[in-house]
């Protein structure tokens, strides 16, 4: 089950997508729109802005991330630790994010 903060974040990004798609003042100049578009597989092109499918894919990837975090936390709560290979993968992922 997703935590309240994860649900809030997902709803906020859904509003970002809607704001862009329905011309409610959000543009590609907004970092949130660009992030959703990139998560959805969009490659920046001046003549081809992201559409509904791309932003939906971006929201899906964000939801997958939030669901993964919730499942990992449930595992930690139940067993007290993660399997060693999962901890190694997460450590590498977090390290690469922090290096930028």
pLDDT, averaged in runs of 10, over the chain (100 residues): 80 91 90 94 92 93 90 92 92 72
Model pTM? 0.77
Q: What's the pLDDT at 5? A: 85
Q: What is the dihedral of CA 87, 100, 45, 19, to 10 degrees?
A: 70
Question: Tokens 């449930």 label which residue?
Answer: 74
Q: What's the pLDDT at 42? A: 97
Task: Say how far apart CA 38 and CA 85 lie, in whole Å.
Answer: 28
């Amino acid at each position: 089950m997703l935590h309240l903060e994860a649900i809030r974040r997902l709803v906020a990004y859904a509003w970002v997508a809607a704001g862009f798609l329905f011309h409610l003042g959000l543009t590609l100049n907004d970092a949130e729109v660009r992030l959703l578009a990139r998560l959805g597989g969009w490659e920046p092109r001046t003549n081809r802005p992201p559409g509904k499918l791309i932003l939906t894919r971006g929201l899906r990837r964000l939801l997958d991330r939030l669901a993964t975090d919730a499942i990992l936390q449930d595992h930690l709560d139940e067993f007290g630790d993660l399997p060693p290979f999962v901890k190694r993968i997460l450590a590498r992922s977090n390290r690469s994010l922090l290096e930028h």
